[in-house]
Amino acid sequence: MSIIAVAGKGGTGKTTISALIIRALLKRGIKPILAIDADPNANLAESLGIQHEESIGSVLSDFLRGRDSLPAGMTKQAYLEMKLHQILHEGRDIDLLVMGVPEGPGCYCAANAILRNYFERLAGNYQFVVVDNEAGMEHFSRKTAAAIDILILCTAYSLKGLRTASLLSGMADQLGITIARRYLLVNRAPERLSHAFQDAVRATGIPLLGAIPNDPSIEEAELAGRSILGLPDDVPAVRRAAELAQRIT
């Protein structure tokens, strides 16, 4: 099992990149895949054409409020794990978990420990786990997931975007997150990256994985609410993402 985490500032297209990576893995026959939507905006399900209703955040909140009135003979761990499994969307090739955000005050330490154990056992059933992360990588900082094998830092085609990606990389180190490999990925990029931009990339010290072109087909699919998995193979962004995914896996 390998974990690919996609992170970046809001608006850089992390969800699109996550979906494109999942599509590329599936096209190579790599399955099953566990997709985790860890962004509070929770758009990965739509990009994958999956319907979902509940999140881990709502389950944890309900658990905290009702932990003193559990079914007779059931431990807190067994009950919470049962509820977590109920919200796991199981598909033919992709299973999906939506993290969400817990509601209301309270200490979630015990629940997070159960969640971490559940996730570690669950993730072992998949070849790849792809995480569409929030910018601050909060779920990883709480150790609710194992170490990251590949961290992809998405950036827009701008020097400001590069600085943000570099800050996020440093934040991950400060949080003590174990990362085997990390890369920069430029999304919605022009055909050629300017010399100034390439110099700025080298200054970050983070290897450049590549660039995904600005592709109207992606925007049209997103506006229409269509799954990225259904895009043709010859779409430029799809083709380029497949090349990059093969390089890192």
Calculate mean pLDDT across residues 198-204. Answer: 96
Q: Is 4 helix (H, G, I), strand (E, B) or coil?
A: strand
Is residue 19 scored above 90 in pLDDT? Answer: yes
Q: Judging by beta carbons within 10 Å of its beta carbon (0-12, 13-18, 19+), is residue 124 exposed, middle or buried?
A: exposed
pLDDT of 176: 83
Say if residues 87 and 59 touch (Cβ distance below 8 Å).
Answer: yes
pLDDT of 146: 59
pLDDT band at 110 (very low <50, low <70, confident <90, very high): low
Encoded amino acid at 196, one letter: A
What is the CATH classification number for the domain harbouring 235?
3.40.50.300
**Residues contacting 11, CB < 8 A, separation 6+:** 156
pLDDT tens per residue across span 38-65: 887 778 999 999 988 788 888 888 887 7
Is residue 137 scored above 70 in pLDDT? Answer: no
Distance (Å, rounded) from C-alpha 219 to C-alpha 221?
5
Is residue 174 scored above 90 in pLDDT? Answer: no
Is residue 143 scored above 60 in pLDDT? Answer: no
> Quick one: what percent of the chain has pLDDT higher than 70?
92
**Total structural domains within the chain:** 1
pLDDT of 140: 64
Distance (Å, rounded) from C-alpha 244 to C-alpha 249?
9
pLDDT of 109: 67
Say if residues 189 and 213 touch (Cβ distance below 8 Å).
Answer: yes
CB atoms within 10 A of CB 205: 10
pLDDT of 166: 93
Q: When comparing pLDDT for 56 and 67, which is higher?
A: 56
Most confidently modeled of 62-66, 88-92, 138-142? Answer: 88-92
Is residue 131 scored above 80 in pLDDT? Answer: yes
pLDDT band at 80 (very low <50, low <70, confident <90, very high): confident
Which has the closest alpha carbon to 4: 22, 26, 29?
22
Q: Which residues in the chain belong to E strands, given as ranges? A: 2-8, 33-38, 89-90, 94-98, 128-133, 148-155, 179-189, 208-213
Per-chain mean pLDDT for the chain:
88
> For residue 49, what are the domain limits?
2-248
